[in-house]
Structures are given as C-alpha cells and as structure tokens.
Amino acid sequence: MLNPESEWFGFRHVKPQDKTGLVRGVFDSVAEHYDLMNDLMSGGLHRVWKDRLVAMMSPQAGQTLLDVAGGTGDIALRCYRRTEGKADITVCDINPHMLKRGRARMIDEGILPQGQGTSRPIHFITGNAEELPIPSRSVDLYSIAFGLRNVSRIDNALREAARVLRPGGRFFCMEFSPGVSPLLKPVYERYCMSVLPWLGEHVAHDAEAYQYLAESILKFPPQAALAERMKKAGLDNVRWTNLTGGVAVIHSGWKL
C-alpha cells in the first residue's frame, strides 16, 4: 500500500485529506520555540547530527541545493557556510510561520538583507514536499531533516525528490527512527512518550503538539522499510547511517 501514513496523525486515525492541515497546525503552534525545543529534546545532539548530515552532503560552490521542510534554516545555514555563500540554496517549507523564523534568522546572521532586494544567497519558498514548486532535473542536492515523518504521503514526497534531482544528484534524509538498538529501545520509547510531551507543555506550552511529534517518531518506517520505498520512488544506491544507536538515521540515495 502506498502512503499508509496518510491515514495516521501520530497514533490517531484520520482522513488523508485532513492530515496536512493537522500537521500544519502543529508547526504553527511550535514555530516560536522550535529551535529551543530541538536543543532540549536532543540534549544538543541535533547540532552534531546536522553537522554530520551536511558533511555527508558535501555541498560545493556552484551547486543547486534544495532543503525541504527546512523552515528555520539549520541545514541551509550550514550549507551556506560550507560553500562560503557560493551555492544556490532554496529552503522550501509548507508552513509560513517556520519560514518567517528562518528568514529572521538569516537577517540576524547578516546573510539576508532586510529589504526586498532580488539578490539573495538563500531563498525561502512556501511549498508542499508532495508537490514541489521546483522544475524537474534542476537540483544537485536534496535534503530533508526531521521533516519526512510529517509529510502526509511519504511515497509522493520521495517521487518528487527523484523528479527534481538532476541525473547524478543526491538525496539525503535525516530523521528520528523507531529502529533504535534493542538496548536503547525501551528507554527511547519511554522518553518519547513521557519526556517530550512534558517539555512541550512546560516550554512550548503545547503538550499535544509534542505528543503528536513523539507518536510520529514511533510510527515512522524503520530503516530498511524506508530504504525500499526510496528505491521504488526512483532513487538508487540507497543506504543509511545510524547515529547514536539509531535514534537518528541518515538515508541517502542517487538519482541516476
């Protein structure tokens, strides 16, 4: 069955046509506290994981990079610095609130001008991972970090990634995974279901949003299952790298 996750919002069964709106509502709620919550939830490890992701991507000057579901700009900023501002970087996110946070961050970093000038080293566009507003075969590197599990139809998003990549282009997905090592699994699941909603309530003032985010981790496909779906979507040489015992996983593939 394609896109089985389209009927699930965390552990709650929903109509597929309703899921995108429900997820957008979660990120409307958490946008203001999103970066702080990432630090608290991961003990700062998300920074190390993102550094590892960008090192594996190895962006180069002159390349075209697309970061999907990257609203606050963590991956885009790292790629900008690694290429010394000489790559064409686009951040695409379905949520305007997240994009607003990302633009403000780039202004604070001195990367984006505050005015409406046309010369911008990082572009922010609103778009759905399932229907990217990007031409076919136009992207050298596609990344999506901690966003794929929130997509209503993962198989559609994977096919879109394959569509926009040039021949020889590369796909990278970093995501939390239920496929952690057996020794970590009981503690990990208890942490997801107890600590994350508690942090959400006391820091972001929205326990329900982080209850969903915790449940979405446990509903996400394990490593081998996601790899198969990537292959069916048109990506080749698919592999994955476990980080911190499989708490986070980087999947990669080529468009040949």
pLDDT at 208 over 60: yes
> What is the reported pLDDT for 39?
83
Q: CB within 8 A of 213, min separation 6: which ones?
A: 10, 26, 196, 200
- pLDDT tens by residue, 13-63: 899 888 999 888 888 887 887 777 788 888 889 999 999 999 999 999 999
> What is the reported pLDDT for 40?
83
pLDDT at 114 over 70: no
The dihedral through the CA atoms of 103, 107, 112, 116 has a sign that is: positive
- Which of 103, 88, 51, 92 has its CA nearest to residue 68? 92
pLDDT at 118 over 50: no
> What is the reported pLDDT for 42?
84
Q: Which CATH architecture has domain 4-254?
A: 3-Layer(aba) Sandwich (3.40)
- pLDDT tens by residue, 64-73: 999 999 988 9
- For residues 19-32, one letter each, b for 16 or more C-beta atoms within 10 angstroms of the residue's C-beta and e for the rest, the string is bbebbbebbebbbe
How is the chain split into domains, by residue range?
4-254
Q: CB within 8 A of 151, min separation 6: which ones?
A: 5, 69, 129, 130, 157
**Mean pLDDT, the chain, whole residue set:** 91
pLDDT band for position 3 (50/70/90)? Answer: confident
> What is the reported pLDDT for 146?
93
